[in-house]
Structure 1
């Protein structure tokens, strides 16, 4: 167990107040799954939902960012991301147009949930911009929760009264970087899970505050592990925020076998790394999962 010292400051929060939380997230399926539970919590006020304008910094659109990433990873993994996130974008479009409920099966639309709760929604090219800083200050944000690749400047990190948390899809310090589930699954006996850590100016270097591990299935796909890990991460995050709001003594779960957590860093999956996964007879996504994902995209799941 780990006690997070800075959370004791939350005892200064009046019981009659709500906890004000801002969210920085990527515009992808996984971020929407992870942050979904926060929109179902009556004890917190989400002051703003800030979504990355592109999957890669320096580009201004989803398509442009996706094309620029093609040169940085195995083509098969790129197709996997395009398919899963493309299905999510179809789902989000239909959900917004027909004003449906935010959730169907695997999918959850944070944008639709923000509409229903009257939460400010913005596409963002620079999360450290003066405009974003001003909005956070004016909102009097208590806690900032992020899942973006940007390294936030100190002027942003200094704004939330009780700090900034990041949700990362690996058991830190193992598999820092990108595609945590993929790299853990292709590595024999590597544990798979998620970490909520305190954000510092250095990427993925903050102190782990809470961790959750999921069951590793040697017959399962990367997609299966990704979804299960995102759901587990969302539950962990929600319980941590609730404890913080209730001012209870923080006691967040940390993955126990620390000896297994070797420090490592991985970037986007390369062709030879994808071949290792295939040699182990593991799939990125199975045909059945792909079919169910398409049905969910059209809200038939």
Structure 2
């Protein structure tokens, strides 16, 4: 589902400026074959709102940079210690741990510079930066990472514990492109509903990941199936495979109901949702 024009834009934004080993590493991870789900969500909603997807290129690039930085750090030996990402060696395996840390830092900081290139008012740029900070920062995605590490020591975990992790670690960065699309399209009235959709979509996405972790191989997924050996909480370990699959279907019904409350038709966004619920990797 990758868009060549956007891929070219991503590469240009990652390689501009002084050459360095760190820049090579950040480009390696950014351009390493991701599905671009978060930018696709942004672009699809912009299209439904009546705008060209190019309006969202800077914001989509920024979000993808933040997502990629989180994956680089998540794969490090001090975190999940994974050697495989998107079917290729993780950043710290392709380079080294210190370079991987710097590459993640570089992507995070570059993201805020890129989003300011958005073709919109200064007020909207401030809103975009504020939301990037909120959803990816210490009370957003990073809080989810904190909860995820803490959960490794829980001896009596419940699904509610896992759900809280998913709301922050996964849902925040899936909600962010929806919120940014509404800001760019002057549809801020839709943000409360989009936030609800984002929570359901984030939980659904992670439960699907947990299902695929036990039903697919690392080769098919393009990443390590390391959750069990890392003592990670998963939907399958807490609910079982069948109940996890039922939960994915239930969450989809809730998302479909919420779509009716948006101020626009959602034909393009629906295609992305269909792709996500039927994905096999």
With normalisation by structure 2, the TM-score equals 0.30
Which structure's residues are more often strand, by fraction? Answer: 1
